[in-house]
Chain A
Amino acid sequence: MSVFRQLSAVVGMNLRNLPQRTGASLVIVIGIAGVVAVLVSVLAMAVSFSQTIAGAGSPDRALILSGGALQEAMSSIPRDSVANILDAPGIARDREGRPIAAAEALAQVQVEPKSGGKLINVALRGVASVEPELRPELHLVEGRMFRPGLHELLVGRSLEERYGLGLGSHLEFQSGDWTVVGIFASSRPSTFDSQVLTDAQTLLAAYQRDWFQSITVRLAGPGSLDQLKRALAADPTLHVNAYLESAFAAAQSQALNTVLKWIGYFIGGMMAAGALFGALNSLYASVSSRSVEIATLRAIGFGAGSVVVSVLAEALLLAVGGGLLGALCAWIFFNGHVSSMELSGLQPPIAFAMSVRPDLLTLGIVWACVIGLAGGLLPAIRAARLPVARALNAVV
Chain B
Amino acid sequence: MASLVSLHNVIKRYVRGKQTIEVLHQLDLEVPAAQFLALMGPSGSGKTTLLNLIGGLDRPTSGEIIVAGEHIQNLSSGQLAKWRARHVGFVFQFYNLMPMLSAERNIELPLLLTSLSSAQRKRNVAAALELVGLTSHAKHKPAELSGGQQQRVAIARALIADPTLLVCDEPTGDLDRASAGEILGLLQLLNRDQQKTIVMVTHDQKAADYASRILHVDKGQLIEAAVKSAA
Contacts and interface: CB of A to CB of B under 8 A. Distances in A.
Interface of A: 1-2, 5-6, 9, 13, 16-17, 292-293, 296-304, 388-389, 392-393, 395-396
Which 9 residue pairs are nearest across A and B when measured between Cβ atoms? A301-B85, A389-B58, A296-B96, A389-B52, A389-B57, A301-B84, A5-B112, A396-B93, A16-B100
A300 B100 contact: no
B36 interface: no
A395 B84 CA distance: 21
Listed residue (B81, B85, B86, B92) with the most chain A CB atoms within 10 angstroms of its CB: B81
Nearest to B108: A9
Interface residues of B, number: 30
A13 B170 CA distance: 27
A153 B127 CA distance: 91
Interface string B51-88: 01001011000000000000000000110011111100
Chain A interface mostly helix, strand, loop or mixed?
Answer: helix
12 contacts: A2-B113, A2-B115, A5-B112, A9-B109, A293-B96, A298-B81, A299-B55, A301-B82, A301-B113, A303-B82, A392-B52, A392-B96
B98 A302 contact: no
B57 A299 contact: yes
Interface of B: 48, 52, 55, 57-58, 77-78, 81-86, 90, 92-94, 96, 98, 100-101, 109-110, 112-115, 157, 169-170
Listed residue (A6, A9, A303, A396) with the most chain B CB atoms within 10 angstroms of its CB: A396
Nearest to B89: A300
A304 to B, nearest CB: 7
A300 B109 CA distance: 8
Given A298-B81, A301-B86, A389-B57, A396 B48 contact: yes
Contacts of B98: 13, 293, 296
A12 to B, nearest CB: 9
Given A6-B113, A299-B57, A301-B113, 6 more contacts: A13-B98, A293-B96, A300-B157, A304-B81, A395-B96, A396-B170
Contacts of B81: 298, 301-304
A198 B124 CA distance: 89
B85 A300 contact: yes
A296 B86 CA distance: 15
A301 B83 CA distance: 7
A64 B101 CA distance: 76
A54 B116 CA distance: 64
Contacts of A292: 96
B115 A299 contact: no
A208 to B, nearest CB: 81
A143 to B, nearest CB: 70
A301 B77 contact: no
Contact of B110 (A13, A301, A395): A301
Contacts of A293: 96, 98
A6 B84 contact: no
B96 A9 contact: no
Given A389-B58, A393-B48, A396-B169, A304 B110 contact: no
A393 to B, nearest CB: 6
Nearest to A385: B77
A299 B90 contact: yes
